Chain A
Amino acid sequence: MPGNRDVTASNEELRAGIDVFGATHPGKARIENDDQFFIATLHKSMRVQQTSLDDLSAFTRLQGASAYLLVVADGASGMLGARQASTTAVETIAQHIGEMIGCYYNFDVDMEQEFLNQLQNAVERAHDKVRGLDPFAAQGSATTLTMMALLWPRAYVVHVGDSRAYYLRGGRLRQLTQDQTAYEQLLDDGTMSEQQAEECSGLTHRLKNVLTSAIGGQIKPSIGLVDLQAEDVLLLCTDGLTQHVPDSDVARILGASASAEESCRRLVDLALERGALDNVAVIVGRCAAP
């Protein structure tokens, strides 16, 4: 199971750092894995070559991680090039953020809107790239994308599709994103009631798999943010997790695990135990205690 762990962040504003880990698995019903995840730390770096100064502590804090970028993407199943779509989207996002993040190492109210615009630009660039993969295909490539850019204490979330972002605080799990599916749209506009949805479980299942917004398809990115606190736990995941693991189990596992890696492994294992009909990708980030 591939993963990445970063417990080295020592930037003053990131307190003692964030323990981050990601994992993905093809699941039990599919051979290909169209899910992708990406975890990056963005660094403002000054390396002192030579000096007559005695105290270099003021400069060491400039060497830690300054921002985090977390991304999950789920290539839309049933379409040609699903893996290529999620791969292209994540690569493009990472490249765009990598190019522009140099201006935004610290949370800054005055620069915030520009930063948000850049996040949206990154998503639109990914959308254009994915659409360009096979412009002649009748049914083009598409992918969900949920990304979080973390400039402590603020976590910015840009979301397209039905992957999800959550945070756990004080044992309470909150979902930061709303699924952009036909199911949610019909409930929202009152075409279908929740009672009707329960009575037609087969239809509901199909509607939950129809995306109303996707990178490469019709795109309606939603943007949000939350200010984090010490001991908050973050989760980004694809629907391969949430179709098998309800919020109550997610909260229990995130709250009881000793590390991000343990959380990831337990979440993926539970999805596998319950059948794992789809690919699964998860990222867990644990903010350090004060």
Chain B
Amino acid sequence: MIQKKICMVGVFGTGKTSLVQQFVYSKFSEKYHSTVGVKIDRKMVDVAGTRVNLLLWDLAGQDEFEKTRSSYLRGSSGIFFVVDGTRRETLTGLADLLTLVQQTLGPVPAVIAINKIDIEDQWTIGDADVYGLIGEGRYIVKTSARTGVGVNEAFFWLADRTLRD
């Protein structure tokens, strides 16, 4: 069986855990749980006729106490970055994380999800801010862990790219 490790990476509170919960269990929790260390979930998906067991490593969000550890990233086939559209500083924090991933893994396919599209009227990040993130092997998508918008699309794109690479 093909297994692919995907790491969820981003600043704290961007919705990484909620995106995994929506993708794996089709549910959304109103209660915020701060992830400690790494939580691992898995989901079997069918990508163009190939069964792939996605191992979703939900990494604790980077904050003033804890930096994202490169040791957790090792062995990843793809990265799922998450930005909170309502908090501009989560986009600023992404630059360090992109560098960390590049240094640790080299070029791997990456999703950059601008999350919380269900409250887009509160966004402080505009399309112009996102243009600078466009690059080879990256897929930028607007998502909502609450409603599920863009969630399957993002994970399946990443699963597909990990198989190709």
Contact = CB atoms under 8 A, between A and B. Distances in A.
B71 A227 contact: yes
Interface string A102-139: 00000001101100100000000000000000000000
Nearest to B53: A113
Contact of B37 (A170, A172, A224): A224
A224 B65 contact: no
B121 interface: no
Given A110-B75, A172-B65, A189-B27, A226 B55 contact: no
Contacts of B33: 178
B31 interface: yes
A224 B40 contact: yes
Interface residues of B, number: 19
B36 interface: yes
A225 B29 contact: no
A64 B8 CA distance: 36
Interface residues of A, number: 25
B84 to A, nearest CB: 20
B29 A113 contact: no
B51 to A, nearest CB: 16
Contact of A109 (B29, B30, B75): B75
Contacts of B69: 227
Contact of B36 (A109, A154, A174, A194): A174
B40 A223 contact: yes
A230 interface: no
A226 B5 contact: no
Nearest to A170: B65
For the residues of A in contact with B, the DSSP-based class is mixed
Contact of A226 (B3, B37, B65, B74): B37
A116 B40 contact: yes
B156 interface: no
A116 B55 CA distance: 11
B61 to A, nearest CB: 13
Interface in A185-201: 187-190, 194
Given A187-B31, A188-B29, A189-B29, A109 B74 contact: yes
A187 B32 CA distance: 10
Contacts of B74: 109
B29 to A, nearest CB: 4
A62 interface: no
A49 B74 CA distance: 39
Interface string B17-40: 000000000010111010011111
Given A109-B75, A172-B65, A224 B29 contact: no
B36 A226 contact: yes
Contacts of A170: 65
A170 B75 CA distance: 29
A270 interface: no
Interface string A244-261: 000000000000000000
Contact of B72 (A113, A178, A187, A227): A227
Contact of B3 (A113, A153, A178, A189): A113
A154 B38 CA distance: 11
B5 A113 contact: yes
Interface string B49-73: 0000001000000000100010110
Nearest to A228: B37
8 contacts: A109-B74, A112-B75, A116-B40, A153-B71, A172-B65, A174-B36, A188-B29, A225-B38
Interface of B: 3, 5, 27, 29-31, 33, 36-40, 55, 65, 69, 71-72, 74-75
